[in-house]
Amino acid sequence: MSYPYQIKDLAGYHEAYQKSIQTPDAFWGEVAENFTWQKKWDKVSDWNFKEPSIKWFIGGKLNITENCLDRHLETMGEKPAIIWEPNDPAESHRIITYKQLHLKVCQFAQVLYNNGVKKGDRVCLYMGMIPELAIAVLACARIGAIHSVIFGGFSAQSIADRLDDAKANFIITCDGAYRGAKDIPLKSVIDDALVGNKNIQRVIVCTRTRTAVSMLKGRDVWWEDEIKKVAAQGTQFVPAEAMDAEDPLFILYTSGSTGKPKGVVHSVAGYMVYTNYTFVNTFNYHPDDIFFCTADIGWITGHSYMVYAPLSAGGTSMMFEGIPTFPDAGRFWDIIDKFKVNILYTAPTAIRSLMGFGLGPVKEHDLSSLKVLGTVGEPINEEAWNWYNEHIGKNKCPIVDTWWQTETGGIMISNMAGITPGKAGWATYPMPGIEPVLVDDKGEEVVKTTSDEEPGILRGNLCIKQAWPSTIRTTYGDHERCRTNYFATYDNLYFTGDGAFRNEAGQYRITGRVDDVLNVSGHRIGTAEVENAINMHAGVVESAVVGYPHDIKGQGIYAFVIYTGSHAQDTHGTADMVRKDILQTVTRIIGPIAKPDKIQFVSGLPKTRSGKIMRRILRKVAEGELTSLGDTSTLLDPAVVDEIVKGVL
C-alpha cells in the first residue's frame, strides 16, 4: 500500500497547502477517494460556524473498520497491526496481525450484539492499555455504537458524571490494570460509579489482573465467556454497519474553562480521512514503519494516532501497557530496540521526566531504528527538545512538534518529518486544510508586531478560519455549549483557547492556554473543575486554582483555599492533615490526576468590587513573582494580597 496523497518535498507541501485552501472540496475529495466507501458522497463539505453546522462527505456511507481492517486483509493479512508490550517485561509480548485483529473485532462485535448493544448506543470503555481496549473500540465502530473511552485515572464520581451525560447503557471494563508497580482496580471503581445508576444494562469485564471482583447476576459478564459463546456459534465475520458519513463515531470528554467536562463528538468520515492524512504526512509514514505512540487510548492522541490512523493506513501500531519509568527509566528505549521502532510519538512531560534520570538508561541502547520523533500535548521547552534530538534522535531524526486538540480530532499545526523544517519550540506550519489566524481580544486580526525585541513576530489568540474534516461536530447533548465554547468568542472563527506567536516565515509557536484551563503533564484540567472538587470538602469555604511552571509536568496546580473547618483553626500543626483530606476529596471527585501540588490556606481571595477573583495576581504569586503583582488598587481589600504573599509556599 502506498499513499498517493503523501507529500514528497517542501514544494509539494506548498502546493498541497495552496490547493487545500483555495479549493478545499476538490482537495479533500481527492484524498477521500483513497478509502473504501459503501456509497460515495454527494457533496464534500457544507459548513457554517454560526450554528455551528459542520458536515463532510455528505451522503457518503462507510464503516471506519472496513477501512482499518477489511481492506487490508488480502494484501497484508499476516502483517502485524498491533504489537503489544506488557507492563512487566518478564511477561510475553503479543503480536496481532491484521487477520487476527479482524477476527477478534468481528467476534467482539458479535458479543456486543448478543448483549443487546445496537447502533447509536453509547458504550463506555474503562480499561487498561491492553489490545482488548483497541478491539473493543473497533468492535463498537463496527456495529455503529458510539464509544466513549474514559482514562483509567478518573474516579468513580467522574465516571458517573460521564455515564450520565452520555446516557450510556453499556460498559466494557477490566478486572484491573497494571500501571508500573501499581494494580488499579478498574471494575471496583466501575461498581462504585454504578451505585444508583439505572441505565446500564450490561458490564462486560475483561480479565487482566485477576483481582477479585464482584460480578452481579444479570448485569456483569466476563469477556472471555462471551467470546467462547460466539466462537461456539462459529462467528468469524460480522458485517460492518453502514454508517452515514456524519454519524457520530465517538464521544470523548475533555475539560474546558467552565463547568463539568464536555463530551466532544467526532463523526465517522471526516475524522477518518483527516487523521489518516495527517498521520501519513506529519510523520512521513511508510507502510512498513513501526509507529510507537506512547499516549493512553483514554486521550485523543491514543484514539487518533494509536488506533484509527495507523490502522486505516495499514500500518503497525506499537502499544505499551506500562509507564516510561517502570521497572526503570530505560523502558521506552528497551521497547524501541526490541521491536525496532521507527517512529516515536510522545509527550514533552515524559521526555523531561526521563531526562531527569541522566544518560545512563539511554546509553546502553542502540536506538538506530528510529527515523522520526514526535511530541504532542504541551509546548516543548528548548532543553527537552535538544535532549530528545541529541540523545534519542542522535541528531538524525526530525522532531515533529504537533499542535492539536481533542476538538480538532487530528494534528493541526506541525512540521512534517523530512518535508518542512522543524524549529525547537515551534509547531511551525499549518497542515493542508488549516488556516490559522491570530486575533486580539476584540477579535481583530493581529497584523502589527507588539514587541521590539522580536521584530516581525505577531502575538495573539489562535483561531481557525475554515472548517476541516475532523472539526468538532457538537458537545454531546448540548449543542449550544459547543457554540458558546468554540464558535461564539469571535465571529466566524473556531477559537482554540491557545495563545500563539507567528513569525515572518508564517511559522507558529504555541505559548499555552489563554483561558482557565491547565495543562498538567499534557493532560487538560479546568481550574473551575478542580475548584469545584476542593469546595466539596466540608471545611472549605472557597478556593481559587491557578497553574505555575513545573519542571517536569509543565504546569503544576496551585490552590488557594479558605478553610474554616475546626482542624485547621485549632492548631496550625494539623494543616498538613487537612491538605491530605482535600487531596483525598479531589481524588474522589475527579481522580488523582487533578490533585493540587500545593495548597495554601488563606483568609481571603483577591477580588474586584464586583466579586470577581483576580487570577492574574494569584498566578503571579504561584509563579513566585512576588514583587511585580501589578495594580491591586481595584481590589475590594488590597490587604488580602499582603497576607497571601507572606504565606507563599
Tell me if 101 sits within 8 A of 317, measured CB to CB: no
Least distance in Å: CB of 495 to ligand WTA? Answer: 11
Return the number of the residue (381 or 535) whose C-beta is nearest ligand WTA: 381
Is residue 378 involved in binding ligand WTA (CB under 6 A)? yes
Tell me if 57 sits within 8 A of 245, measured CB to CB: yes
What is the largest distance, in Å, between two alpha-carbon atoms of the chain?
76
- Judged by CB under 6 A, which of 41, 56, 403, 548 binds ligand WTA? 403
- Judged by CB under 6 A, which of 179, 513, 553, 620 binds ligand WTA? 513
Is residue 521 involved in binding ligand WTA (CB under 6 A)? no
- Tell me, what amino acid is at 553? K
How far apart (Å, rounded) are the C-alpha atoms in residues 471 and 491?
17
- Judged by CB under 6 A, which of 320, 404, 495, 558 binds ligand WTA? 404
Return the number of the residue (24 or 256) whose C-beta is nearest ligand WTA: 256
Is residue 641 involved in binding ligand WTA (CB under 6 A)? no
Is residue 266 involved in binding ligand WTA (CB under 6 A)? no
* Tally of CB atoms within 10 A around 625: 11
Tell me if 167 sits within 8 A of 225, measured CB to CB: no
Return the number of the residue (203 or 384) whose C-beta is nearest ligand WTA: 384
Is residue 376 involved in binding ligand WTA (CB under 6 A)? yes
* Tally of CB atoms within 10 A around 535: 16
Is residue 300 involved in binding ligand WTA (CB under 6 A)? yes
- Judged by CB under 6 A, which of 117, 510, 589, 605 binds ligand WTA? 510
Stretch that binds ligand WTA, among 152-160, 400-408, 428-436, 605-613 (CB under 6 A): 400-408
How far apart (Å, rounded) are the C-alpha atoms in residues 146 and 242?
14
How far apart (Å, rounded) are the C-alpha atoms in residues 21 and 466?
9
Is residue 519 involved in binding ligand WTA (CB under 6 A)? yes
How far apart (Å, rounded) are the C-alpha atoms in residues 467 and 492?
10
List C-alpha distances in Å: 630 to 50, 218, 289, 588, 615. Answer: 38, 62, 53, 37, 12
DSSP 333: H
> What is the grid cell recorded at 428?
511551525
Least distance in Å: CB of 405 to ligand WTA? Answer: 4
Question: Quick one: 593 exposed, middle or buried, by C-beta within 10 A (0-12, 13-18, 19+)?
Answer: middle
Q: How many residues touch ligand WTA (CB under 6 A)?
A: 23
Least distance in Å: CB of 497 to ligand WTA? Answer: 6
**At CA 167, angle to CA 166 and CA 172, rounded to 5?**
80
Return the number of the residue (252 or 629) whose C-beta is nearest ligand WTA: 252
Tell me if 336 sits within 8 A of 369, measured CB to CB: yes
Please report the sign of the dihedral spanned by the C-alpha atoms of residue 288, residue 329, residue 522, residue 96: positive
How far apart (Å, rounded) are the C-alpha atoms in residues 613 and 544?
8
Is residue 401 involved in binding ligand WTA (CB under 6 A)? yes
- Judged by CB under 6 A, which of 524, 553, 595, 620 binds ligand WTA? 524
List C-alpha distances in Å: 483 to 123, 250, 540. Answer: 25, 19, 34
Return the number of the residue (552 or 645) whose C-beta is nearest ligand WTA: 552
Is residue 179 involved in binding ligand WTA (CB under 6 A)? no
Least distance in Å: CB of 295 to ligand WTA? Answer: 8
Return the number of the residue (512 or 539) whose C-beta is nearest ligand WTA: 512
Strand ranges in 207-303 using DSSP code E only, listed in sequence order:
220-222, 243-244, 248-254, 262-267, 290-293
Return the number of the residue (278 or 325) whose C-beta is nearest ligand WTA: 278
- Judged by CB under 6 A, which of 80, 144, 310, 377 binds ligand WTA? 377
Tell me if 487 sits within 8 A of 494, measured CB to CB: yes
Sketch the per residue contact string, 236 through 255, with ligand WTA: x for CB under 6 A, - otherwise: ------------------x-
Helices (H) and strands (E) in the chain, counts: 22, 30
- Judged by CB under 6 A, which of 66, 70, 161, 498 binds ligand WTA? 498
* Residue 90 DSSP SS3: coil
Least distance in Å: CB of 264 to ligand WTA? Answer: 8
Return the number of the residue (302 or 315) whose C-beta is nearest ligand WTA: 302
CB-closest chain residue to ligand WTA: 406
Is residue 226 involved in binding ligand WTA (CB under 6 A)? no
CA dihedral 64, 45, 432, 265 (to 10 degrees): -50
Least distance in Å: CB of 28 to ligand WTA? Answer: 21
- Judged by CB under 6 A, which of 80, 322, 430, 497 binds ligand WTA? 497
Which residues are bridge partners to 602 per DSSP? 562
**Which residues in 410-439 contact ligand WTA (CB under 6 A)?**
427
Return the number of the residue (322 or 348) whose C-beta is nearest ligand WTA: 348
Which residues are bridge partners to 265 per DSSP? 251, 474
Tell me if 526 sits within 8 A of 548, measured CB to CB: no
Is residue 352 involved in binding ligand WTA (CB under 6 A)? no
Return the number of the residue (315 or 409) whose C-beta is nearest ligand WTA: 409
Stretch that binds ligand WTA, among 27-35, 395-403, 439-447, 572-580 (CB under 6 A): 395-403
**Which residues in 17-76 contact ligand WTA (CB under 6 A)?**
none
What are the two backbone dihedrals, phi and then psi, of residue 415, each rounded to the nearest 5 degrees?
A: -70, 165
Least distance in Å: CB of 401 to ligand WTA? Answer: 5
How far apart (Å, rounded) are the C-alpha atoms in residues 294 and 133?
15
Binding region for ligand WTA (CB under 6 A) = 254, 299-301, 376-379, 401-406, 427, 496-498, 510, 512-513, 519, 524
